[in-house]
Amino acid sequence: MQPDRGEITLLLARWKDGEPSAFDELMPLVYPHLREVAAAYVRRERDPGVLQATVLVHELYLRLLNQKKAGWEDRRHFYTFAAKVMRMILIDHARQTQAQMRGGGQERVPLGEDLVWVTYGSPELLDLNHALGELGELDAYKVQLVELRYFLGCTEEETASLMQVSKSTVKRDLKFTKSWLFRRVHPGMVEDAA
């Protein structure tokens, strides 16, 4: 059963106001979705050294718990932040993997069906992170779309709802954004697979 959207927003407001019990009430409501997203990441990965879904969500939980000041405006803001934190956890893991393996012949597994040119534990994931940083300076909205859709695993409908735009706007903006990111990650290449 999906939690009431307003309930999440109310708990976020209570947490923002300094009520620690709100965090304890919030996590059981958002944990199933965050765990589902993390499990989807892990299912795509064939490397046994990859973060397990539970580990990924628990790392997110610890980082949320250690937030000095929760400044969530609403559930969209919270989920966007959670997506960014999950992305950073994956980036940190990719950096550690690269430092240990340095091209150790791992099978390349796409980040998602729409981002087949980015694989877990590869330099492309680090390049994508850098490109998202560049894009964030130009258009933070488009970075939020990517984080919600590909790192948090929201559907186009969920992304549209969270961003308060139409599904067609999400599709159009993601198409442009994927193309822009592809050109940044693979300069000079033609975008066949993206």
Q: What is the pLDDT of residues 57-96, one digit of tens each?
A: 888 888 887 776 667 778 888 888 887 888 788 777 777 7
Q: What's the number of domains the chain is made of?
A: 1
By residue count, the chain amounts to 194
Flag whether 48 is in a domain.
yes
**For residue 85, how many other CB atoms are within 10 A of its CB?**
19
Q: What is the pLDDT of residues 94-151, one digit of tens each?
A: 777 665 554 444 444 444 555 544 555 556 777 888 888 899 899 999 988 988 887 7
| Dist. CA 72–CA 12, nearest whole Å | 6
Flag whether 192 is in a domain.
no
| Dist. CA 83–CA 101, nearest whole Å | 26
Flag whether 111 is in a domain.
yes
For tokens 């488009």, the residue is 142
Flag whether 194 is in a domain.
no
| Dist. CA 36–CA 43, nearest whole Å | 10
Question: For a pLDDT cut of 70, what percent of the chain falls above it?
Answer: 72
Flag whether 193 is in a domain.
no
- Domain span at residue 43 reads 5-185
Flag whether 72 is in a domain.
yes
* DSSP helix, strand, coil percent of the chain (3-state; round to 5): 70, 0, 30
Rounded to whole angstroms, what are the CA distances from 63 to 53, 56, 144?
15, 11, 19
Flag whether 61 is in a domain.
yes
Flag whether 39 is in a domain.
yes
